[in-house]
A and B are shown apart, each in its own frame.
Chain A
Amino acid sequence: MSRRIGSAALLLVALVAGGARAADDIQVHASTDADEVAVDGTLNLQILVTVASGSQGADVQLPDFKDFDLVGRSQSEQTTIEFSNGAQSIHRRIVTNVALTPKHEGSATIEPARVTYRGRSYQTQPITVRVLGAAQAQRRRGAQPSARDTEEDPFRGMGSQIGTRDLLLRATIDNDAPYVGQQVTYSLYLLARGGVSGIDKLQVPKFDGFWSEALEEPQQLINEPRIIDGIPYSSFLLRKRALFPLRPGKVEIDPAEVDVLSGFGMLFSRSSAHRVAQAITIDVQPLPTAGRPTAFDLGNVGNWTLSTAVEPLTVSVGQPVTFKLVAQGRGNVRDLRLPRLGQVPGLRAYDATTTDKKSVEKGQLMGTRTIEQLLVPERTGDLEIPSLSMDIFDPAQKAYRTIRTEPVRLLVHAAEPGTAATVAQPAQNLLAAGGLRPIRLRLRAAAIGAPPWGQVWFWPALAAGPFAVAILVASGRARRMFWKDPRELRMRRARTAAQARLRGAEAMLAEKRPGPEFYAEVARGLTGYLADKQGIVAAGLTREELASALLARGHPSATVRALLGVLDHCDERRFAPGAPDERAQRTLLADADRILGELDRPGKDAA
C-alpha cells in the first residue's frame, strides 16, 4: 500500500494567546496514510505531539469522527536527544495512532484533534479524504503501482508476512529478477511496535555473487513511523546496499541478524532480543544476446553518458594539453570499461590516470569515471581527436546502445622562438606518415591499350633480326656451294674448245676454203688448248721454250715434237701459201686431233 501524507497536515496552531514561548515548546502534527480510502477499508490517522522533556504530559483528545467509525487506537511515547549549536535538548514524542473506517462514500472529513498542554489548548487542522466505492477501490488496487511507489515502500505487500509480531528484522530488495550488472537495492529494517533503545551485533550478509556498495549506514536509530496493514510500526533503517549481480542464475542472500536492545539503562529495565531476517533469493537474468554488439563489455551495464574535454584547444607545438574522457550516469562505475584513445597522428599520448566518483541519488548509485591523459602535439596545424564510442546495456530500456563523444579539434601553432617546452621532448613539428592522402587536382590521361608484347607486330619484329641474318648466312653458303673456278672450267673445256676449232677447220675444207684461215684455225685450236689446259701461252714463247715447258709437264717428247711440227707447218702454210692439198690438210687435222688426245691423257698434266 502506498503511503500518502494527509493533505491537511497541521503544524502548530495556538488557540489561546499564550505567548511564543509556549508555542515553541510543543509541536502537533496530524497525518493520514492515504488521501483516498475504500468504503470498506481502513484509514490510519497519526497524531504526533512533540513536547519538551521534563514537562507535563500532553493530553490528546480525539474528535467525534462524524464521517468515520473508530476501530482502533494506540499511543506510544519516545524520548529523543538532539544537539544543536552546542546545546542539548531532550524531547518527548507522543504518537497516537487511530484506525478509522468511513461511514459513507464521497468526501469525508476528519475533524481537528485537540491537545491540551500546560493549560493551553491546541488543535490540528481538519483533513479531508475521498471515500471510494468498493468496486472503484478494487479497480484502483488492480492497477500497477508506479515505479516511485515501488521505490518508496519497501514493505509493500508485507503485512501477511509480518503478522502481529512486535519486533522483527526484515530485509527487502527492489528487484528480484535483475540483469547481470543491474543495481538491486537491499534494505534492512527493524520493525518494532514497542520502544527500541539500540542495536548490537548487527551481522550483514556477505553478498556473495554481488558487487556491493554501501548506500546508507545510519549511525543511530532513526524512527520512521509506518502503518503496515493498519498496524503502526516504528521502522528503523539499519543498512541499505546497492548490489550488482556478477553472473546469471539464482543467488541467495543470507539472513541478517541483530540483537535489539529495549529499555533505558539504569532508569528502566533493559532487555535484549535476537532477531533474524529472512533469506532472499534473486533470479539474476543474463544479458540478452540479441543485438549485443561484438565489442560490448559485460561491465558496461547502466545508463551512461560519455563526453570529452580538451584543455586548452589552442596550443603551441610541444605544449601539453589535458584530454579528459568522462563517463557519467547510473550503474556500477567501478566495473565500467571505457574506450581507449588510440594513437592520434601528430599527438604523443602519455599514461592515463583514472578517477572514480560515486554518489547516491534517489537510492540509486551514480558514478563518474574520469580518464585524464596528457597529450603533446608534435606537429602544427589542425589536429583532430577522434570520436570515441562505447556500447552499453541499459536495463531500464532493456536494450543495447552505443554512446559516443564528439570529435575535438585542436589548433596547434608553431612554438615561439625561445619558448621552452614543458616536457622533455623538444618543440618540433613531428610529421608522422599515414592517413588518407589529399586528392589530386590535375587530370592526366593514361594509356590503357595492349602492351607492346601484346601487339601483333611485336614478335615478328623481334624475329626479323635473326631471320635476316639467317637468310644472309644461308645465301653465302649457297653461293659458296655453287661457285666454279674459271681456270678449272677452262681446263675442263680446253679439249672441247680445241676440237671445236678443228671441226671449224674441217668445215672450211668442206666449204672449199682451204686457205690460210684453215691453218690459222688449226694453230689457234692447238695453242688455245695449250693456254687453257696446260697454262702455256705459246704466242710469247720460242719453239724451244714451248718444248721445254711441255717436257717439264711430263709430256712425251714425240708428242712435243709432233706438236711443234704441226705448229711450224701451219705457220709455214699461213704465211707462204701454196696450192691447196686437201689430203695433206686432212692429215694435218688428224695429227692435230691425235696430239690433243696425247696431251690430254690423264697423269700427264702437271699443271
Chain B
Amino acid sequence: MRRIFLASLLAASTAAAQRPDPGAPQRPDALRFPADIDPGAGRKASSALFDGANAAYLSGDLPRAASSYEALLQEGIASAELETNLGATYLREGKRGLAALHLERALFLDPGDEDARADLAETRRAAVDRLEGETESREVLSRVLSPLPGQAAAILLIVAWTAAWGLFAAHLLRPARLLLPLSLAAFALSLVAAVVTAGAATWHSVALRRAVVVAPATPAREGPSERTATHFEVHEGTAVRIEDEEAGFRRIKLANGLVGWVPAAAVELVVPPGWAGQNG
C-alpha cells in the first residue's frame, strides 16, 4: 500500500514537472489519492498525504506540495489549514492569483484564521493592481462581519425566540410573577442573536459572489465577447465581485466600482460550487 502511494506521488510529481508552462496559471495535476487505490484508506491516508505535502513544502519541493494539497481538495476535503498551506505554496511559487484564491477560501471556512489573513495581506502587498478611488467601506464591512459567529447565533436565535414566545404564552394562560420578565429577557437575547445572524448572513451573501482573478492578466471588456472594446486590464490576485454570467464570460465589479466582462476562466469563485449549500 505504502509503495503504491509513494509511486503515485512520484508519478504525479514527474508529470507535473514535465508539463509545459502556458501563460495562464495552471494548477498542478492532482496526485492520485490513496482512497482511489484503496477505498478503505480513509482519513489515515488523507492525513498521510497532508503530512507528505507539508514535508515537500518544507523541503522546498513546491510543485509536489501543491499537487498533494490539490489532491486532498479534489477528494472533497474542506479545511482552513489545507487552504492556507496551499495558498502559501502558490505564493512561494509566485502564483499570486491562486494564492489569493485559496487564502480567501481559508478565511471563508474560518474567518478567524490569523495565518490566512496575514498571508493574504502578504499576497496583496505585491499585487499589480492598485485600485484608484477604492472605497474601503465594503472591505471594512466584510472584515467586521466575517468573524461573526453566524452559525451559533442562528441556533441561539431559534432557541431564545421560541423560549420567549413560550414564556409569553404561559403568561397569557396563567400569569405568574416571573413569566413576563423572563419572556422579555428572552426576546432581548433573540434580538441580539438576530442582529448577529443578519450580519453573518449579509457577509455570507457577499462572499458567495466574491471571486479572485487567477489569470496573470486579463482584459475587462465592454461586453461578453472578444470583439468588444477593452476597458481596462486586471491582474492576478485582485478580488472582484461576480455580478452576472453569460456565454463564457463573467461580469465583474471591482472594489472601486469599475465593471467589465472577463473570460470566465480568468476568475474563480471564492466559494466553489458544492460549498455553503450551493449547487455543485
Contact A469 B172 (CB under 8 A): yes
Provided the pairs A444-B79, A451-B201 are in contact, do residues A436 and B50 lie with their beta carbons within 8 angstroms?
no
Chain B residues, Cβ within 8 Å of A476 = 172
Contact A444 B274 (CB under 8 A): no
Contact B161 A462 (CB under 8 A): yes
Contact with A along B110-132 (1 / 0, CB 8 A): 10000100110010000000000
| Interface stretch of the complex, out of A112-120, A403-411, A452-460 | A452-460
Contact B109 A446 (CB under 8 A): yes
- Report how far A364 CA is from B191 CA in the complex, Å: 83
Q: Residue of A at shortest CB range from B158?
A: A461
Which of B47, B78, B197 lies in contact with A453, CB distance below 8 A? B197
Nearest Cβ on chain A to B93's Cβ, whole angstroms: 12
- Report how far A92 CA is from B164 CA in the complex, Å: 126
Contact A439 B166 (CB under 8 A): no
- Report how far A451 CA is from B80 CA in the complex, Å: 17
Nearest Cβ on chain B to A470's Cβ, whole angstroms: 9
Q: Residue of A at shortest CB range from B76?
A: A448
- Whether A432 sits at the interface, judged by CB under 8 Å, is no
Contact B119 A472 (CB under 8 A): no
- Whether B230 sits at the interface, judged by CB under 8 Å, is no
Q: Which residues from 151 to 168 on chain B have a C-beta closer than 8 Å to any C-beta of chain A?
A: 151, 154-155, 157-158, 161-162, 164-166, 168
Contact A472 B172 (CB under 8 A): yes
Provided the pairs A436-B119, A441-B54, A472-B173 are in contact, do residues A462 and B88 lie with their beta carbons within 8 angstroms?
no
Chain B residues, Cβ within 8 Å of A440 = 81, 84-85, 115
Contact B172 A436 (CB under 8 A): no
- Size bin of chain A's contact surface: 20 to 34
Nearest Cβ on chain B to A443's Cβ, whole angstroms: 5
Q: Residue of A at shortest CB range from B278?
A: A450
Contact A450 B276 (CB under 8 A): yes
Which of A439, A446, A447, A452 lies in contact with B85, CB distance below 8 A? A439
Contact B165 A443 (CB under 8 A): no
- Size bin of chain B's contact surface: 35 or more
Chain A residues, Cβ within 8 Å of B168 = 469
Q: Residue of B at shortest CB range from A443?
A: B50
Q: Which residues from 55 to 94 on chain B have a C-beta closer than 8 Å to any C-beta of chain A?
A: 57-58, 72, 77-82, 84-85, 88, 91-92
Chain A residues, Cβ within 8 Å of B197 = 452-453
Chain B residues, Cβ within 8 Å of A458 = 154, 158
Chain A residues, Cβ within 8 Å of B162 = 461, 464-465
Contact B77 A445 (CB under 8 A): yes
- Report how far A462 CA is from B164 CA in the complex, Å: 11
Which of B51, B80, B88, B169 lies in contact with A436, CB distance below 8 A? B88
Chain A residues, Cβ within 8 Å of B50 = 443
Chain B residues, Cβ within 8 Å of A445 = 77-79
Chain A residues, Cβ within 8 Å of B166 = 465, 468
Chain A residues, Cβ within 8 Å of B150 = 451-453
- Whether B232 sits at the interface, judged by CB under 8 Å, is no
Q: Residue of B at shortest CB range from A433?
A: B118
Provided the pairs A436-B122, A443-B50 are in contact, do residues A466 and B82 lie with their beta carbons within 8 angstroms?
no
Contact A451 B204 (CB under 8 A): yes
Chain A residues, Cβ within 8 Å of B169 = 468-469, 472
Nearest Cβ on chain A to B104's Cβ, whole angstroms: 14
Chain B residues, Cβ within 8 Å of A433 = 118
Contact B154 A451 (CB under 8 A): yes
- Report how far A450 CA is from B115 CA in the complex, Å: 25
Nearest Cβ on chain B to A404's Cβ, whole angstroms: 16
Main secondary structure of the interface of A (DSSP, over half): loop
Nearest Cβ on chain B to A174's Cβ, whole angstroms: 44
- Report how far A435 CA is from B172 CA in the complex, Å: 62
- Report how far A448 CA is from B172 CA in the complex, Å: 42
- Whether A473 sits at the interface, judged by CB under 8 Å, is yes
Contact B165 A466 (CB under 8 A): yes
Chain B residues, Cβ within 8 Å of A479 = none
Contact A443 B91 (CB under 8 A): no
- Report how far A458 CA is from B47 CA in the complex, Å: 35
In this complex, the member of B57, B72, B81 whose beta carbon has the largest number of chain A beta carbons within 10 angstroms is B81
- Whether B277 sits at the interface, judged by CB under 8 Å, is yes
Nearest Cβ on chain B to A336's Cβ, whole angstroms: 27
- Report how far A462 CA is from B169 CA in the complex, Å: 15
Provided the pairs A461-B162, A462-B157, A469-B165 are in contact, do residues A453 and B201 lie with their beta carbons within 8 angstroms?
yes
Chain B residues, Cβ within 8 Å of A442 = 81
Chain A residues, Cβ within 8 Å of B200 = 451
- Report how far A450 CA is from B204 CA in the complex, Å: 10
Contact B118 A437 (CB under 8 A): yes
Q: Residue of B at shortest CB range from A467?
A: B165
Chain B residues, Cβ within 8 Å of A473 = 172
Nearest Cβ on chain A to B151's Cβ, whole angstroms: 6
Which of A439, A443, A448, A468 lies in contact with B276, CB distance below 8 A? A448
Contact A446 B80 (CB under 8 A): yes
Q: Residue of A at shortest CB range from B81?
A: A440
Contact B275 A448 (CB under 8 A): yes
Provided the pairs A436-B122, A443-B46, A443-B81 are in contact, do residues A448 and B115 lie with their beta carbons within 8 angstroms?
no
Nearest Cβ on chain A to B132's Cβ, whole angstroms: 19
Contact B172 A439 (CB under 8 A): no
- Report how far A85 CA is from B150 CA in the complex, Å: 97
Which of B47, B85, B119, B164 lies in contact with A465, CB distance below 8 A? B164
- Report how far A439 CA is from B62 CA in the complex, Å: 13
- Whether A265 sits at the interface, judged by CB under 8 Å, is no
Which of A443, A453, A464, A472 lies in contact with B77, CB distance below 8 A? A443
Nearest Cβ on chain A to B56's Cβ, whole angstroms: 11
Nearest Cβ on chain B to A117's Cβ, whole angstroms: 79
Chain A residues, Cβ within 8 Å of B84 = 437, 439-440
Q: Which residues from 164 to 197 on chain B have a C-beta closer than 8 Å to any C-beta of chain A?
A: 164-166, 168-169, 172-173, 197
Contact A453 B154 (CB under 8 A): yes
- Whether A449 sits at the interface, judged by CB under 8 Å, is yes
> Can you spell out 17 A-B residue pairs with CB atoms less than 8 angstroms apart?
A436-B119, A437-B84, A437-B88, A439-B88, A440-B85, A441-B51, A443-B72, A443-B79, A445-B79, A448-B276, A449-B276, A450-B276, A451-B201, A451-B277, A452-B151, A458-B154, A464-B162
Interchain residue pairs A-B with the least CB separation, the first 6:
A450-B277, A465-B165, A452-B154, A446-B109, A440-B81, A437-B115
Residues on B lying within 8 angstroms of A by beta carbon are: 46-47, 50-51, 54, 57-58, 72, 77-82, 84-85, 88, 91-92, 109-110, 115, 118-119, 122, 150-151, 154-155, 157-158, 161-162, 164-166, 168-169, 172-173, 197, 200-201, 204, 274-277
Q: Apart from A439-B58, A448-B275, what 13 extra A-B contacts exist at CB < 8 Å?
A: A433-B118, A440-B85, A441-B54, A451-B201, A451-B204, A451-B277, A452-B151, A452-B158, A458-B154, A462-B158, A465-B165, A469-B168, A469-B169
